[in-house]
Amino acid sequence: MNKKGQMAAIGLIMIVFITILVGVIIFQQIAQTIGTTTDTYSYNSTTTFPQNGSSIYITDIRALSSPVLINGSTTADVVTAANYTVTNNVVYNGALSVMITSTADTTSGWNGTTVYVTGTAQPLTYIDDSGGRGVTTIILIFLALAIAIVAMYPVYQDPNFRAMLGVGK
Q: How many domains does one find in the chain?
A: 2
Q: Are residues 49 and 104 in the same domain?
A: yes
Q: Are residues 47 and 32 in the same domain?
A: no
Predicted confidence at residue 160, as pLDDT, reads 67
- Alpha carbon distance 86, 94 (integer Å): 19
Predicted confidence at residue 2, as pLDDT, reads 61
**Largest alpha-carbon pair distance within the chain?**
94
Q: Are residues 32 and 45 in the same domain?
A: no
Q: Are residues 134 and 78 in the same domain?
A: no
Q: Are residues 29 and 77 in the same domain?
A: no
Q: Is the pTM of this model over 0.85?
A: no
pLDDT tens digits in sequence order for the chain, 169 residues long: 566 656 677 777 888 899 999 999 999 998 888 888 888 999 999 998 888 888 999 999 999 999 998 887 776 778 888 888 999 999 999 999 999 998 866 556 777 788 899 999 999 999 888 888 889 889 999 999 999 999 888 777 777 666 666 666 5
Q: Are residues 30 and 47 in the same domain?
A: no
- Alpha carbon distance 57, 152 (integer Å): 52
- Alpha carbon distance 101, 5 (integer Å): 74
The domain containing residue 98 runs over which residues? 41-123
Q: What is the DSSP letter of 146?
A: H
- Alpha carbon distance 73, 63 (integer Å): 25
Residues present in the chain in total = 169
In 3D space, the residue among 53, 65, 52, 50 whose CA is nearest the CA of residue 115 turns out to be: 50
Q: Are residues 109 and 50 in the same domain?
A: yes
Predicted confidence at residue 130, as pLDDT, reads 86
Q: Are residues 76 and 20 in the same domain?
A: no
